[in-house]
Structure 1
Amino acid sequence: MTTNGALATAALAIEPRPSRARQSSLVWALTATHFVSRAGGVARSFLVLYLTQERDLSPATAGAVVAAVGVGDIGSQLLGGWLADRIGRRHTMLVGFLGTAIALIALGSAETMPGICAAAVGVGLMAELFRPVGSAVVADLPAQERVRAFGLLFWAANLGFTVSTVAAGVLVRQGYGILFWINAAASVLAALIVWRHVPETRPSTPEATRRALLPVLLRDPLMLVMAAIHVVYFTLFLQAFSTLPLLMAGDGHGPGTFGAVLALNGIVIVVVQPIAVRLLDGRDTASVLAVSMLLVGIGGGLGAVAHSGTGHAGAILVWTLGQIGVSVKFGATFADLAPADLRGRYMGVAATTWSLGAVLGPLLGTALLEHAGRTALWAACSAIGLALFAAQRAIAPALRTTTTN
Structure 2
Amino acid sequence: MQGFKDIPRVVRLLAAGVFVNAVVSCTFVFVFLYLTGPRGLGAVQAGVVTGIGGIGLVAGNFTGGWYGDRFGHRRVLLAASALGGLTLTVLPALPTALLYAALPLAQYASGTVRAANSALVAVAVPGGARRQAFALVRSAANGGFTLGAPLGALVAAGLSYDWLFLGEGLGTLLLALWTARVVPARGASRTPAAAPDGGLGRGGVWAELRARPAVLVLLGAILVADVVYRQHYYTFPVFLADHGLDARAFGLVIALNGAVVLLLELPAAVALRSRPPLAVVGAGLVLVGAGYAALLLGAGVATAVAMMVLLSVGEILYKSTATAYVADQAPAHAVGRFQSLYAGVSVSGVVLGPPAGGALYTAAPWLLWPLCAALAAGAGAVLLRLSARQRRPAAGAPGEGAQPHAARPAPETGSRPRPVAG
Q: Same fold (TM over 0.5)?
A: yes
AA aligned opposite 1:123: A
Specify the alignment match of 1:383 in structure 2.
374
Specify the alignment match of 1:366 in structure 2.
358
Matching of residues 238-387 of structure 1 within 5 Å: 238-303=230-295, 305-373=297-365, 375-387=366-378
Inter-partner Cα distance in structure 1 for 2:309 and 2:58:
29
In structure 1, stretches of 5+ residues that fail to align are 1-19
Specify the alignment match of 2:63 in structure 1.
79
Deviation readout 1:197-232 (Å, 9 max, x if unpaired): 012467742477635333433454322221111100
- 8 Å CA contact 2:257–2:308 kept in 1: the answer is yes
Inter-partner Cα distance in structure 2 for 1:42 and 1:138:
23
Further displaced range: 380-389 or 154-163: 380-389
AA aligned opposite 1:235: V
AA aligned opposite 1:267: A
Matching of residues 118-267 of structure 1 within 5 Å: 118-140=101-123, 141-172=125-156, 173-200=158-185, 204-206=192-194, 210=198, 212=201, 213-267=205-259
Q: Cα distance, 1:323 vs. partner?
A: 0.7
AA aligned opposite 1:303: L
Matching of residues 4-153 of structure 1 within 5 Å: 24-113=8-97, 115-140=98-123, 141-153=125-137
Q: Cα distance, 1:274 vs. partner?
A: 1.6
Deviation readout 1:220-270 (Å, 9 max, x if unpaired): 432222111110011111111111101110111111110000000001111
The count of aligned residue pairs is 384
AA aligned opposite 1:111: P
Point out 4+ residue stretches in structure 1 off by more than 6 angstroms. Answer: none
Inter-partner Cα distance in structure 1 for 2:30 and 2:122:
33
Inter-partner Cα distance in structure 1 for 2:321 and 2:192:
27
1:307 match: secondary structure: coil
AA aligned opposite 1:245: P
AA aligned opposite 1:185: L
- 8 Å CA contact 1:26–1:197 kept in 2: the answer is yes
Measured at CA, do residues 207 and 298 of structure 1 come closer, stay the same or move farther in structure 2, by a change above 3 Å? closer
Name the one with the larger helix percent.
1
Measured at CA, do residues 304 and 110 of structure 1 come closer, stay the same or move farther in structure 2, by a change above 3 Å? farther
Inter-partner Cα distance in structure 2 for 1:243 and 1:194:
37
Inter-partner Cα distance in structure 2 for 1:292 and 1:274:
15
Specify the alignment match of 2:408 in structure 1.
none
Inter-partner Cα distance in structure 2 for 1:21 and 1:265:
27
Inter-partner Cα distance in structure 2 for 1:136 and 1:69:
23
Deviation readout 1:135-191 (Å, 9 max, x if unpaired): 112221211121110110111111111111111111112011111111111111111
- 8 Å CA contact 1:222–1:398 kept in 2: the answer is no
Q: Cα distance, 1:304 vs. partner?
A: 5.1
Further displaced range: 183-192 or 358-367: 358-367
1:404 match: secondary structure: coil
Measured at CA, do residues 144 and 182 of structure 1 come closer, stay the same or move farther in structure 2, by a change above 3 Å? same
Deviation readout 1:265-292 (Å, 9 max, x if unpaired): 0011111112111111111212211111
AA aligned opposite 1:117: Y
Inter-partner Cα distance in structure 2 for 1:250 and 1:392:
35
Inter-partner Cα distance in structure 1 for 2:295 and 2:354:
15
- 8 Å CA contact 2:88–2:168 kept in 1: the answer is yes
AA aligned opposite 2:28: R
In structure 2, stretches of 5+ residues that fail to align are 392-398, 406-422
- 8 Å CA contact 2:20–2:171 kept in 1: the answer is yes
TM-score (norm 2): 0.86
Inter-partner Cα distance in structure 2 for 1:363 and 1:204:
39
Specify the alignment match of 2:410 in structure 1.
none
AA aligned opposite 1:182: G
AA aligned opposite 1:38: A
- 8 Å CA contact 2:195–2:333 kept in 1: the answer is no
Query: What's the RMSD between the two structures over aligned residues?
Result: 2.1
- 8 Å CA contact 1:291–1:322 kept in 2: the answer is yes
- 8 Å CA contact 1:276–1:328 kept in 2: the answer is no
Inter-partner Cα distance in structure 2 for 1:40 and 1:233:
28
Q: Cα distance, 1:361 vs. partner?
A: 1.8
Inter-partner Cα distance in structure 2 for 1:334 and 1:86:
19
- 8 Å CA contact 2:281–2:319 kept in 1: the answer is no
